[in-house]
Amino acid sequence: METRVWHYDGRSGERRMPAIVPSADERHFMLQGDGADPGPYAFADLEPHGHSHHERAFGLKGRPGWRITFLEFPPSEIAVHLPKPARYGAWIDRFGLWRSAGVLAVLALLVVGFTLKLPPLIARLIPVSVEQRMGRLIVGNLGTYACASPQGDSALKALGARLRQGDDVTIRVVHAPMINAVAFPGGQVVLFDGLIQNAKSPDEVAGVLAHELGHVAHRDGMESLIRQYGLSLLLGGFDSNISGYGNALLNARYSRKAEAGADGYAIGRLQAANISPLPTAALFARLAKQDEDPGSAGILLNYLSSHPLSSSRERQFTQSVRPGVAYKPALDAAQWQALRAMCGDRPAPAL
């Protein structure tokens, strides 16, 4: 019994209905009758071109528009030579849908995991000069709030020197009531006056400052920006959104790991400088307690939201005390007074 197929030759839109006849070698076939070009054609050149219900269509390699369509299921001596229809795509068809989906899901998780690890890697690739320029631009925005006095500046310098601040770090005090301290990119550290006024001793300020120096050393600020803004930060030219980046860093929540890293750095610096870590621990305890007092929420939230306090952080500082060491205050009384008086009595400008 002969099998007829719908046939287009890809040259004209006329449809022919030739009979498909396999050759003796079983690798080729001819199209006979109805004015069709008889061929022969190779089964191996056939490509699946869709199927629906019982119809199955095939094209021919290198002949766009050439089609044969079986309207009924083809007899088995022809069917065995026909290519299988593609379903999801070559690779997925080979392995099966569910197995492919499983493997791909695992790969996707790996890619996502790697992407999450990417910001610190990229942060380290950014040239220091670029980061410094960026930090200067961000902090330049704070210009009107900056506090300065000769004695205060030298006290800051002395504090920085005791914590062995690097040459590329700039510490500034800004006139704002929030209890906060921020490490911007490029070693720009900003202490808020609210923190200094709230502190009971220069050692507390030293502890917080050392923590921020830790963020500087680990380049956490840049990493945080890359996390939040992604590649647009690098490609878009960052000058256009400086205040946005500043705000993002003010409210940045670093990962637990970054915070622990900065704490470890701070403890190391305090030890090397012979400054007691206990006042810093006491500051943490006090802030946590004040946080429960509804009256001070607005001011405190700032530090706590960006540096979540936990008893383990406090304990770490407490446990780093070495018995028998004669600790020296971070600043003497005159320097401490100068630091506290840096922003004067005028009320803070509205942020």
Contacts with other proteins by CB under 8 A lie at 6, 8-15, 49-50, 52, 57, 59, 64-67, 88-89, 92, 97, 100-101, 104-105, 107-108, 111-112, 133, 137, 235-240
Task: Give the shortest CB-117-to-other proteins separation in angstroms.
Answer: 16
Task: Give the shortest CB-34-to-other proteins separation in angstroms.
Answer: 14
Give the relative orientation of helices 97-125 and 220-229 as an angle to the nearest 10 degrees: 140
Q: Which two tokens stand for residue 72?
A: 């009924």
Q: Distance (Å, rounded) from C-alpha 70 to C-alpha 98?
A: 30
Task: Give the shortest CB-277-to-other proteins separation in angstroms.
Answer: 41
Nearer of residues 38 and 65 to other proteins, judged by Cβ: 65
Cα separations (Å) of 72 from 21, 162, 311? Answer: 16, 90, 76
Task: Give the shortest CB-349-to-other proteins separation in angstroms.
Answer: 26
Task: Give the shortest CB-108-to-other proteins separation in angstroms.
Answer: 5
Task: Give the shortest CB-11-to-other proteins separation in angstroms.
Answer: 5
Residue 252 main-chain phi, psi, to 5 deg: -65, 140
Task: Give the shortest CB-115-to-other proteins separation in angstroms.
Answer: 9
**Residues 314, 279: contact at Cβ < 8 Å?**
no
Nearer of residues 55 and 77 to other proteins, judged by Cβ: 55
**Residues 247, 141: contact at Cβ < 8 Å?**
no
Nearer of residues 89 and 150 to other proteins, judged by Cβ: 89
Nearer of residues 29 and 66 to other proteins, judged by Cβ: 66
Q: What is the DSSP string of 195-235?
A: HHHH-SSHHHHHHHHHHHHHHHHHTHHHHHHHHHHTTHHHH
Nearer of residues 97 and 272 to other proteins, judged by Cβ: 97
Task: Give the shortest CB-116-to-other proteins separation in angstroms.
Answer: 13
Nearer of residues 53 and 289 to other proteins, judged by Cβ: 53
Between CA 237 and CA 241, with CA 240 as vertex, the angle to 5 degrees is: 105
Q: Kindly report the length of the chain.
A: 351
Nearer of residues 103 and 297 to other proteins, judged by Cβ: 103
**CA Rg, the chain, in Å?**
36
User: Partners of 31 in the beta sheet?
Assistant: 20
Q: Distance (Å, rounded) from C-alpha 219 to C-alpha 262?
A: 10
Nearer of residues 105 and 125 to other proteins, judged by Cβ: 105
Edge to edge, the sheet with strand 46-52 lists 6-9, 63-70, 55-60, 46-52
Q: Which two tokens stand for residue 339?
A: 């630091």
